[in-house]
Structure 1
Amino acid sequence: MLTLERLMASEMELAAGDGATYRRVLTENALVVVPGMVLDAEACIKTMDASPPWDSTQFWDAHLVRLTPDSAAVVYTFEGVRGGNTYRAVLSSTYVLRDGVPRLALHQQTQVT
């Protein structure tokens, strides 16, 4: 089942993860929309492998939007600190169940300035 707790646990795992984490969680046709670009699954995996980890992360104000019995979106505010720089954004991730496992199909970030 796609619960808020389960999807936020996936989001936290992705924030702490590398390309291998994204490879395991993304659907084969996933899109990741970040400020200034749209990445397909392979481009996202490569980008995550090249990115240093966050020094710290915070997640708050999470909401679950049920779409179908096998799909849901989670929307929340994220803050990550890396090398003294802070990134804050509102994130939205749409998941589908594949063999009982939540897989990320679409992720979008809107930076908060």
Structure 2
Amino acid sequence: MDEAMLHELLAIDDRLARGAGPDYAEVLHDDALVVVPGAVLDKAGCVAAMDASPGWDEADLDDARLVRGGDTATIVYRFTGRRGEDTYVATLASTYVRADGWRLLLHQHTPD
């Protein structure tokens, strides 16, 4: 069960890493916060930022772990994103709540 849940949530995060605003609008919980270097974004702010972002040319999610508790689950993993010549490496954490499917409640970046 845990392995299947880990893969399910990683697939959602992978979709978001490769997606744009509409993907975030669908997956983010209404009360979601996204914590990235230099900003804390609510759902609307995150959707707008992703609409303005050029996206990643490549995205790798590795060394994932899962923590479960009731209707919530958190995945923590190493993210490597490539955009042109630039590479971004960070530890990411995504906390999901089960509410009409999985909804992303909190997302945190800790750059290497």
Specify if TM > 0.5. yes
1:52 aligned partner: 54
Provide the residue aligned with 2:105 in structure 1.
105
Q: TM-score, normalised by structure 2?
A: 0.95
Query: Are 1:72 and 2:65 matched, yes or no?
Result: no
Misfit runs of 4+, over 3 Å: none
CA distance in 1, matches of 2:62, 2:39: 25
The separation in 1 between residues aligned to 2:55 and 2:107, in whole angstroms, is: 19
Residue identity in the other structure for 1:111: P
Report the TM-score when normalising by structure 1: 0.94
CA shift digits 1:56-88 (9 cap, x unpaired): 1111000000021x1100000000000210000
Q: 2:81 is matched by which residue type in structure 1?
A: G
DSSP-derived class of the 2:56 partner: coil
Query: Displacement of 1:53 after TM fit?
Result: 1.6
Per the TM alignment, residue 36 of structure 1 is displaced from its structure 2 partner at its CA by: 1.1
> How large is the Cα RMSD of the aligned pairs?
1.2
Deviates more, 1:53-62 or 1:40-49: 53-62
Equivalent position of 2:27 in the other structure: 25
Matched pairs, number: 110
User: Distance between the aligned counterparts of 2:22 and 2:63, measured in 1?
Assistant: 28
> 1:55 & 1:5 partners in 2: Cα distance?
22
Amino acid across the alignment from 1:44: C
Q: Which deviates the most, 18-27 or 1-10?
A: 1-10
**Structure 2 gap ranges (5+):** none
